[in-house]
Protein backbone atom coordinates (compact mmCIF):
# COMPACT_ATOMS: atom_id res chain seq x y z
CA UNK A 1 0.00 0.00 0.00
CA UNK A 2 2.06 2.93 -1.30
CA UNK A 3 -0.51 5.67 -0.78
CA UNK A 4 -0.04 7.44 2.56
CA UNK A 5 -2.21 10.54 2.13
CA UNK A 6 -5.65 11.14 0.68
CA UNK A 7 -8.15 13.95 0.15
CA UNK A 8 -11.25 14.25 2.31
CA UNK A 9 -13.80 16.72 3.57
CA UNK A 10 -12.80 17.70 7.09
CA UNK A 11 -15.25 19.36 9.47
CA UNK A 12 -13.55 21.28 12.29
CA UNK A 13 -14.88 22.92 15.43
CA UNK A 14 -13.16 26.32 15.18
CA UNK A 15 -14.56 27.63 18.45
CA UNK A 16 -17.23 26.16 20.77
CA UNK A 17 -20.21 25.27 18.55
CA UNK A 18 -18.80 27.00 15.46
CA UNK A 19 -17.93 24.58 12.67
CA UNK A 20 -16.29 24.92 9.27
CA UNK A 21 -15.65 22.43 6.50
CA UNK A 22 -13.07 22.16 3.74
CA UNK A 23 -11.40 19.60 1.52
CA UNK A 24 -8.03 18.75 3.08
CA UNK A 25 -5.18 16.26 2.82
CA UNK A 26 -5.34 13.54 5.49
CA UNK A 27 -2.83 10.89 6.47
CA UNK A 28 -3.76 7.24 6.21
CA UNK A 29 -2.68 7.06 9.87
CA UNK A 30 -5.70 9.28 10.72
CA UNK A 31 -8.00 6.38 9.80
CA UNK A 32 -9.31 4.19 12.59
CA UNK A 33 -8.13 0.58 12.92
CA UNK A 34 -10.10 -1.95 10.86
CA UNK A 35 -9.75 -5.00 8.66
CA UNK A 36 -10.68 -3.47 5.34
CA UNK A 37 -9.14 -0.52 3.53
CA UNK A 38 -11.41 0.71 0.73
CA UNK A 39 -10.65 3.12 -2.11
CA UNK A 40 -13.87 5.14 -2.28
CA UNK A 41 -15.11 5.91 -5.80
CA UNK A 42 -18.61 7.17 -5.00
CA UNK A 43 -20.44 8.44 -1.96
CA UNK A 44 -23.81 10.12 -1.57
CA UNK A 45 -25.35 12.93 0.42
CA UNK A 46 -27.90 12.06 3.08
CA UNK A 47 -29.66 14.31 5.57
CA UNK A 48 -27.60 12.74 8.37
CA UNK A 49 -24.36 13.77 6.61
CA UNK A 50 -25.51 17.37 6.65
CA UNK A 51 -26.15 17.08 10.39
CA UNK A 52 -22.67 15.61 10.92
CA UNK A 53 -21.15 18.33 8.72
CA UNK A 54 -22.72 21.09 10.82
CA UNK A 55 -21.74 19.88 14.27
CA UNK A 56 -24.79 17.88 15.36
CA UNK A 57 -23.55 15.99 18.43
CA UNK A 58 -26.40 13.51 18.17
CA UNK A 59 -24.69 12.23 15.01
CA UNK A 60 -20.99 13.02 15.54
CA UNK A 61 -19.47 13.43 18.97
CA UNK A 62 -15.98 14.66 18.22
CA UNK A 63 -14.30 16.78 15.59
CA UNK A 64 -12.27 17.11 13.34
CA UNK A 65 -14.30 14.60 11.38
CA UNK A 66 -14.96 13.37 7.84
CA UNK A 67 -18.71 12.74 7.25
CA UNK A 68 -20.24 10.37 4.68
CA UNK A 69 -22.46 7.52 5.86
CA UNK A 70 -22.25 5.91 2.41
CA UNK A 71 -19.28 4.66 0.43
CA UNK A 72 -18.82 2.46 -2.62
CA UNK A 73 -15.43 1.42 -3.91
CA UNK A 74 -12.87 -1.34 -4.15
CA UNK A 75 -10.93 -3.24 -1.53
CA UNK A 76 -7.27 -2.25 -1.55
CA UNK A 77 -6.05 -3.91 1.65
CA UNK A 78 -7.30 -6.58 4.07
CA UNK A 79 -10.52 -8.50 3.76
CA UNK A 80 -9.43 -11.87 5.16
CA UNK A 81 -11.49 -14.78 3.85
CA UNK A 82 -14.42 -12.55 2.86
CA UNK A 83 -12.95 -10.22 0.25
CA UNK A 84 -9.94 -10.05 -2.03
CA UNK A 85 -8.07 -7.03 -3.37
CA UNK A 86 -10.10 -5.33 -6.11
CA UNK A 87 -13.50 -6.59 -4.95
CA UNK A 88 -16.24 -3.98 -5.41
CA UNK A 89 -17.99 -3.30 -2.09
CA UNK A 90 -20.39 -0.87 -0.48
CA UNK A 91 -20.68 0.30 3.08
CA UNK A 92 -23.79 2.04 4.36
CA UNK A 93 -24.66 2.77 7.95
CA UNK A 94 -23.12 1.18 11.03
CA UNK A 95 -20.87 3.93 12.39
CA UNK A 96 -19.49 5.06 9.01
CA UNK A 97 -19.47 8.85 8.75
CA UNK A 98 -20.83 9.25 12.27
CA UNK A 99 -17.83 8.72 14.54
CA UNK A 100 -15.82 6.74 11.97
CA UNK A 101 -14.13 8.67 9.15
CA UNK A 102 -16.65 8.48 6.31
CA UNK A 103 -17.25 8.32 2.60
CA UNK A 104 -16.49 12.00 1.89
CA UNK A 105 -12.85 10.89 1.80
CA UNK A 106 -10.89 8.94 -0.81
CA UNK A 107 -10.12 6.15 1.69
CA UNK A 108 -12.09 4.50 4.50
CA UNK A 109 -11.01 1.76 6.87
CA UNK A 110 -13.80 -0.30 8.43
CA UNK A 111 -14.48 -3.66 10.09
CA UNK A 112 -14.92 -6.34 7.43
CA UNK A 113 -18.41 -7.05 8.79
CA UNK A 114 -19.65 -3.65 7.61
CA UNK A 115 -19.03 -4.27 3.90
CA UNK A 116 -21.52 -5.73 1.44
CA UNK A 117 -20.23 -7.21 -1.80
CA UNK A 118 -21.75 -5.16 -4.62
CA UNK A 119 -24.72 -7.15 -5.82
CA UNK A 120 -24.86 -7.76 -9.58
CA UNK A 121 -26.00 -6.27 -11.88
CA UNK A 122 -25.88 -3.02 -9.91
CA UNK A 123 -22.91 -0.72 -10.65
CA UNK A 124 -21.03 1.03 -7.84
CA UNK A 125 -22.49 4.31 -9.07
CA UNK A 126 -26.03 2.90 -8.95
CA UNK A 127 -25.41 1.53 -5.46
CA UNK A 128 -24.79 5.11 -4.33
CA UNK A 129 -27.87 6.42 -6.15
CA UNK A 130 -29.60 4.17 -3.68
CA UNK A 131 -27.15 4.69 -0.77
CA UNK A 132 -28.54 4.77 2.74
CA UNK A 133 -31.65 6.55 1.43
CA UNK A 134 -32.44 3.76 -1.02
CA UNK A 135 -31.60 1.05 1.47
CA UNK A 136 -33.93 2.74 3.97
CA UNK A 137 -36.63 2.97 1.30
CA UNK A 138 -36.02 -0.74 0.64
CA UNK A 139 -36.40 -1.61 4.33
CA UNK A 140 -39.63 0.42 4.47
CA UNK A 141 -41.07 -1.24 1.37
CA UNK A 142 -40.10 -4.65 2.79
CA UNK A 143 -42.16 -3.93 5.91
CA UNK A 144 -45.20 -3.03 3.80
CA UNK A 145 -44.81 -6.25 1.78
CA UNK A 146 -44.04 -8.48 4.80
CA UNK A 147 -47.05 -7.03 6.62
CA UNK A 148 -49.19 -8.59 3.90
CA UNK A 149 -50.38 -5.38 2.26
CA UNK A 150 -51.08 -6.17 -1.39
CA UNK A 151 -51.39 -3.67 -4.24
CA UNK A 152 -55.10 -4.57 -4.41
CA UNK A 153 -55.62 -3.35 -0.82
CA UNK A 154 -55.36 0.31 -1.78
CA UNK A 155 -53.04 3.30 -1.99
CA UNK A 156 -49.70 3.65 -0.20
CA UNK A 157 -48.85 7.16 1.01
CA UNK A 158 -45.21 8.29 0.86
CA UNK A 159 -44.34 11.47 2.75
CA UNK A 160 -41.34 13.69 1.95
CA UNK A 161 -41.76 12.19 -1.49
CA UNK A 162 -39.34 14.39 -3.40
CA UNK A 163 -36.49 13.67 -0.95
CA UNK A 164 -33.96 10.86 -1.12
CA UNK A 165 -35.79 8.18 0.85
CA UNK A 166 -39.17 9.41 -0.40
CA UNK A 167 -38.40 9.43 -4.13
CA UNK A 168 -36.86 5.95 -3.92
CA UNK A 169 -39.80 4.61 -1.88
CA UNK A 170 -42.21 6.00 -4.52
CA UNK A 171 -40.08 4.46 -7.28
CA UNK A 172 -39.69 0.99 -5.72
CA UNK A 173 -43.32 0.73 -4.59
CA UNK A 174 -44.63 1.66 -8.02
CA UNK A 175 -42.07 -0.66 -9.66
CA UNK A 176 -43.60 -3.62 -7.80
CA UNK A 177 -47.17 -2.67 -8.58
CA UNK A 178 -48.42 -0.49 -5.71
CA UNK A 179 -50.51 2.59 -6.31
CA UNK A 180 -48.60 5.43 -4.65
CA UNK A 181 -49.85 8.76 -3.35
CA UNK A 182 -46.88 11.10 -3.02
CA UNK A 183 -47.02 13.89 -0.45
CA UNK A 184 -44.72 16.84 -1.07
CA UNK A 185 -44.24 20.45 -0.06
CA UNK A 186 -42.74 21.30 -3.46
CA UNK A 187 -45.44 22.39 -5.88
CA UNK A 188 -42.97 22.27 -8.79
CA UNK A 189 -42.12 18.58 -8.47
CA UNK A 190 -45.29 17.07 -9.95
CA UNK A 191 -43.56 15.92 -13.12
CA UNK A 192 -40.61 14.44 -11.23
CA UNK A 193 -42.90 12.48 -8.89
CA UNK A 194 -45.04 11.29 -11.79
CA UNK A 195 -41.85 10.03 -13.46
CA UNK A 196 -41.00 8.20 -10.23
CA UNK A 197 -44.32 6.39 -10.62
CA UNK A 198 -46.69 8.26 -8.27
CA UNK A 199 -50.34 7.80 -9.18
CA UNK A 200 -51.40 10.93 -7.32
CA UNK A 201 -49.53 13.86 -5.82
CA UNK A 202 -50.88 15.78 -2.84
CA UNK A 203 -49.58 18.83 -0.99
CA UNK A 204 -48.24 17.96 2.44
CA UNK A 205 -50.78 20.38 4.01
CA UNK A 206 -53.43 17.77 3.14
CA UNK A 207 -51.91 15.37 5.64
CA UNK A 208 -51.33 17.87 8.43
CA UNK A 209 -54.58 17.48 10.37
CA UNK A 210 -55.19 20.01 13.14
CA UNK A 211 -58.68 18.83 14.08
CA UNK A 212 -57.61 16.72 17.09
CA UNK A 213 -60.01 14.01 15.91
CA UNK A 214 -58.67 10.59 16.97
CA UNK A 215 -59.38 9.00 13.58
CA UNK A 216 -59.92 10.25 10.04
CA UNK A 217 -61.46 8.60 6.99
CA UNK A 218 -59.56 5.42 6.00
CA UNK A 219 -57.56 6.54 3.04
CA UNK A 220 -54.37 4.49 2.78
CA UNK A 221 -53.59 0.78 2.96
CA UNK A 222 -50.09 1.66 4.11
CA UNK A 223 -47.75 4.58 4.70
CA UNK A 224 -44.02 5.09 4.22
CA UNK A 225 -43.27 8.12 6.34
CA UNK A 226 -39.94 9.93 6.09
CA UNK A 227 -40.74 13.17 7.94
CA UNK A 228 -42.31 12.37 11.35
CA UNK A 229 -44.24 14.89 13.45
CA UNK A 230 -47.84 15.84 12.65
CA UNK A 231 -47.60 14.30 9.17
CA UNK A 232 -47.00 10.86 10.61
CA UNK A 233 -49.67 11.46 13.27
CA UNK A 234 -52.19 12.38 10.55
CA UNK A 235 -51.16 9.42 8.41
CA UNK A 236 -51.72 7.03 11.32
CA UNK A 237 -55.30 8.32 11.67
CA UNK A 238 -55.89 7.76 7.95
CA UNK A 239 -54.77 4.14 7.60
CA UNK A 240 -57.37 1.52 6.80
CA UNK A 241 -58.13 -1.52 8.94
CA UNK A 242 -55.03 -3.61 9.73
CA UNK A 243 -52.78 -1.41 7.63
CA UNK A 244 -49.26 -0.32 8.55
CA UNK A 245 -46.95 2.66 8.57
CA UNK A 246 -43.18 2.81 8.61
CA UNK A 247 -41.30 5.59 10.37
CA UNK A 248 -37.70 6.47 9.50
CA UNK A 249 -37.19 10.20 9.70
CA UNK A 250 -37.70 13.42 11.60
CA UNK A 251 -37.18 16.29 9.15
CA UNK A 252 -40.57 17.76 10.14
CA UNK A 253 -40.28 16.92 13.83
CA UNK A 254 -38.99 14.16 16.10
CA UNK A 255 -42.21 14.41 18.11
CA UNK A 256 -45.19 12.17 17.56
CA UNK A 257 -48.47 13.13 19.20
CA UNK A 258 -50.98 10.38 18.69
CA UNK A 259 -53.68 8.48 20.54
CA UNK A 260 -54.00 4.73 20.85
CA UNK A 261 -57.12 4.69 18.62
CA UNK A 262 -55.47 3.90 15.26
CA UNK A 263 -53.86 0.92 16.99
CA UNK A 264 -56.80 -0.40 19.05
CA UNK A 265 -59.72 0.42 16.73
CA UNK A 266 -58.11 -0.24 13.34
CA UNK A 267 -55.30 -2.62 14.29
CA UNK A 268 -52.75 -0.33 12.67
CA UNK A 269 -49.06 -1.26 13.06
CA UNK A 270 -46.23 1.26 13.24
CA UNK A 271 -42.83 -0.11 12.20
CA UNK A 272 -39.60 1.65 13.15
CA UNK A 273 -36.86 1.60 10.52
CA UNK A 274 -33.21 1.63 11.57
CA UNK A 275 -31.02 1.18 8.53
CA UNK A 276 -27.71 1.74 10.32
CA UNK A 277 -27.87 -1.41 12.42
CA UNK A 278 -29.75 -3.67 10.06
CA UNK A 279 -28.43 -7.25 10.46
CA UNK A 280 -26.07 -8.34 7.67
CA UNK A 281 -28.14 -11.22 6.32
CA UNK A 282 -31.27 -9.07 5.99
CA UNK A 283 -29.13 -6.22 4.61
CA UNK A 284 -27.85 -8.48 1.80
CA UNK A 285 -31.40 -9.66 1.05
CA UNK A 286 -32.67 -6.09 0.63
CA UNK A 287 -29.67 -5.08 -1.53
CA UNK A 288 -30.28 -8.11 -3.73
CA UNK A 289 -33.88 -7.03 -4.29
CA UNK A 290 -32.84 -3.41 -4.96
CA UNK A 291 -30.32 -4.69 -7.52
CA UNK A 292 -32.87 -6.74 -9.44
CA UNK A 293 -36.68 -7.08 -9.07
CA UNK A 294 -37.16 -3.78 -7.23
CA UNK A 295 -34.82 -1.67 -9.39
CA UNK A 296 -36.68 1.23 -11.01
CA UNK A 297 -36.03 1.70 -14.73
CA UNK A 298 -35.40 5.39 -14.13
CA UNK A 299 -32.86 4.95 -11.26
CA UNK A 300 -30.23 7.00 -13.10
CA UNK A 301 -32.61 9.93 -13.52
CA UNK A 302 -33.04 10.23 -9.73
CA UNK A 303 -29.42 11.21 -9.32
CA UNK A 304 -27.58 14.50 -9.50
CA UNK A 305 -23.84 13.84 -9.57
CA UNK A 306 -21.53 16.34 -7.88
CA UNK A 307 -17.81 16.66 -7.14
CA UNK A 308 -16.38 16.83 -3.59
CA UNK A 309 -15.91 20.59 -4.08
CA UNK A 310 -19.68 20.99 -4.59
CA UNK A 311 -20.54 19.16 -1.37
CA UNK A 312 -20.34 22.28 0.77
CA UNK A 313 -23.22 24.01 -1.08
CA UNK A 314 -25.32 20.85 -1.26
CA UNK A 315 -25.02 20.30 2.48
CA UNK A 316 -26.73 23.68 2.97
CA UNK A 317 -29.39 22.82 0.37
CA UNK A 318 -30.33 19.46 1.93
CA UNK A 319 -30.69 21.14 5.34
CA UNK A 320 -33.09 23.63 3.74
CA UNK A 321 -35.13 20.73 2.27
CA UNK A 322 -34.34 22.03 -1.23
CA UNK A 323 -32.77 18.97 -2.84
CA UNK A 324 -34.69 16.69 -5.13
CA UNK A 325 -34.03 12.96 -5.41
CA UNK A 326 -30.50 11.79 -4.72
CA UNK A 327 -27.17 13.59 -4.75
CA UNK A 328 -24.20 11.33 -5.42
CA UNK A 329 -20.58 12.36 -5.05
CA UNK A 330 -17.89 11.15 -7.44
CA UNK A 331 -15.06 10.95 -4.94
CA UNK A 332 -12.36 9.85 -7.44
CA UNK A 333 -11.90 7.95 -10.67
CA UNK A 334 -11.01 4.23 -10.52
N1 LIG B 1 -33.98 5.57 10.16
C2 LIG B 1 -33.07 5.43 9.25
O3 LIG B 1 -32.38 4.42 9.17
C4 LIG B 1 -32.87 6.53 8.25
C5 LIG B 1 -32.11 6.33 7.09
C6 LIG B 1 -32.05 7.36 6.14
C7 LIG B 1 -32.69 8.57 6.38
N8 LIG B 1 -33.35 8.73 7.55
C9 LIG B 1 -34.07 9.95 7.84
O10 LIG B 1 -35.13 10.06 6.90
C11 LIG B 1 -35.41 11.44 6.66
C12 LIG B 1 -35.35 11.71 5.16
O13 LIG B 1 -34.02 11.53 4.71
P14 LIG B 1 -33.62 11.92 3.22
O15 LIG B 1 -32.20 11.53 3.04
O16 LIG B 1 -34.66 11.44 2.30
O17 LIG B 1 -33.71 13.52 3.32
P18 LIG B 1 -34.05 14.56 2.16
O19 LIG B 1 -33.50 14.10 0.86
O20 LIG B 1 -33.64 15.89 2.69
O21 LIG B 1 -35.63 14.50 2.04
C22 LIG B 1 -36.47 14.94 3.06
C23 LIG B 1 -37.75 15.47 2.43
O24 LIG B 1 -38.69 15.75 3.48
C25 LIG B 1 -39.50 16.86 3.10
N26 LIG B 1 -39.35 17.90 4.12
C27 LIG B 1 -38.27 18.70 4.34
N28 LIG B 1 -38.49 19.54 5.36
C29 LIG B 1 -39.76 19.27 5.79
C30 LIG B 1 -40.57 19.82 6.82
N31 LIG B 1 -40.13 20.80 7.62
N32 LIG B 1 -41.81 19.31 6.98
C33 LIG B 1 -42.27 18.33 6.19
N34 LIG B 1 -41.54 17.75 5.20
C35 LIG B 1 -40.30 18.24 5.01
C36 LIG B 1 -39.01 17.32 1.74
O37 LIG B 1 -39.77 16.62 0.76
P38 LIG B 1 -41.12 17.23 0.12
O39 LIG B 1 -40.84 18.66 -0.20
O40 LIG B 1 -41.34 16.38 -1.10
O41 LIG B 1 -42.21 17.09 1.15
C42 LIG B 1 -37.59 16.80 1.68
O43 LIG B 1 -37.15 16.64 0.37
C44 LIG B 1 -34.38 12.21 7.49
O45 LIG B 1 -34.96 12.57 8.73
C46 LIG B 1 -33.26 11.22 7.69
O47 LIG B 1 -32.49 11.51 8.83
C48 LIG B 1 -33.45 7.74 8.47
Which residues, 6+ apart, have CB-to-CB distance to 188 below 8 Å? none
Q: Output the pTM of the full model.
A: 0.95
**Number of domains comprising the chain:** 2
Say whether both 190 and 69 belong to one domain: no
DSSP state of 113: G
Specify if 265 maps to a domain: yes
Residues 180/173, Cβ–Cβ less than 8 Å = yes
pLDDT digits (tens, 9 = 90+) for 36-48: 999 999 999 999 9
Say whether both 174 and 151 belong to one domain: yes
Q: Is 163 in the pocket of ligand 1 (CB under 6 A)?
A: yes
Say whether both 72 and 151 belong to one domain: no
On average, the pLDDT of the chain sits at 96
Say whether both 184 and 243 belong to one domain: yes
Out of 238, 254, 272, pick the residue that ends a domain. Answer: 272
Q: Residue 169: is it exposed, middle or buried by C-beta count within 10 angstroms (0-12/13-18/19+)? A: buried
Out of 257, 272, 287, pick the residue that ends a domain. Answer: 272
Say whether both 248 and 136 belong to one domain: yes
- pLDDT band at residue 254, thresholds of 50, 70 and 90? very high
Out of 256, 272, 288, pick the residue that ends a domain. Answer: 272
pLDDT digits (tens, 9 = 90+) for 105-120: 999 999 999 999 999 9
Q: Is 323 in the pocket of ligand 1 (CB under 6 A)?
A: yes
Say whether both 43 and 93 belong to one domain: yes
Examine the pLDDT at 206 and tell me if it is beyond 80: yes
Average pLDDT over residues 137-144: 98
Separation of alpha carbons 183 and 206, rounded Å: 8
Say whether both 170 and 259 belong to one domain: yes
Provide, rounded to the nearest whole percent, the portion of the chain with pLDDT above 90.
95
Specify if 282 maps to a domain: no
The residue range of the domain holding 29 is: 5-118+298-330
Tell me which residue has its CA closest to atom 30 in ligand 1. Answer: 252
Expressed in angstroms and rounded, the spacing between residue 226 Cα and the centre of ligand 1 is 5
Residues 39/76, Cβ–Cβ less than 8 Å = yes
Specify if 199 maps to a domain: yes
pLDDT value at position 289? 97
Specify if 226 maps to a domain: yes
- pLDDT band at residue 232, thresholds of 50, 70 and 90? very high
Q: Is 273 in the pocket of ligand 1 (CB under 6 A)?
A: yes
Q: Residue 188: is it exposed, middle or buried by C-beta count within 10 angstroms (0-12/13-18/19+)? A: exposed
Specify if 126 maps to a domain: no
Q: Residue 16: is it exposed, middle or buried by C-beta count within 10 angstroms (0-12/13-18/19+)? A: exposed
Residues 138/42, Cβ–Cβ less than 8 Å = no
Average pLDDT over residues 61-74: 97
Question: Residue 245 is part of a domain; what is its CATH number?
Answer: 3.40.50.720
Question: Residue 98 is part of a domain; what is its CATH number?
Answer: 3.90.180.10
Specify if 286 maps to a domain: no
Examine the pLDDT at 325 and tell me if it is beyond 90: no
pLDDT value at position 280? 94
Residues 161/167, Cβ–Cβ less than 8 Å = yes
Residue 9 has φ and ψ, to the nearest 5°, of -75, 130
Examine the pLDDT at 153 and tell me if it is beyond 60: yes
pLDDT value at position 321? 86
Average pLDDT over residues 32-37: 93
Specify if 143 maps to a domain: yes
Residues 223/245, Cβ–Cβ less than 8 Å = yes
pLDDT value at position 2? 66
Average pLDDT over residues 188-193: 94
46-to-36, 122, 207, 241, 327 alpha-carbon distances in Å: 23, 20, 24, 34, 8
Average pLDDT over residues 64-69: 98
Examine the pLDDT at 1 and tell me if it is beyond 60: no
Q: Which of 97, 131, 139, 163 to mutate to test the pocket of ligand 1 (most atoms within 8 A of CB)?
A: 163
Say whether both 266 and 136 belong to one domain: yes
Specify if 38 maps to a domain: yes
DSSP state of 2: -
Say whether both 38 and 144 belong to one domain: no
- Helical pair 124-146 and 164-175, crossing angle rounded to 10 deg: 70
Separation of alpha carbons 182 and 159, rounded Å: 6
Say whether both 237 and 211 belong to one domain: yes
pLDDT value at position 17? 86
Say whether both 191 and 224 belong to one domain: yes
141-to-29, 95, 191, 287, 294 alpha-carbon distances in Å: 40, 24, 23, 12, 10
- Ligand 1 atom nearest to CA at 136: 5
- Ligand 1 atom nearest to CA at 275: 3
Say whether both 109 and 136 belong to one domain: no
Amino acid sequence: MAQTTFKAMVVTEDSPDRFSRRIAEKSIHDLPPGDLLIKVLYSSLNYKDALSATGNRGVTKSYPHTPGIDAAGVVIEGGGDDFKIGDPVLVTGYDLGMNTSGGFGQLIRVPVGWAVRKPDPLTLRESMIYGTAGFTAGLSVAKIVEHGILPSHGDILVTGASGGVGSLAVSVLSRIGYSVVASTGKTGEKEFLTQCGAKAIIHRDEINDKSKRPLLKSRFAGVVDTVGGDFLATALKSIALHGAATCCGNVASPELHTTVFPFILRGVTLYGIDSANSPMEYRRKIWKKLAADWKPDHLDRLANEISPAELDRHIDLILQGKLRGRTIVRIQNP
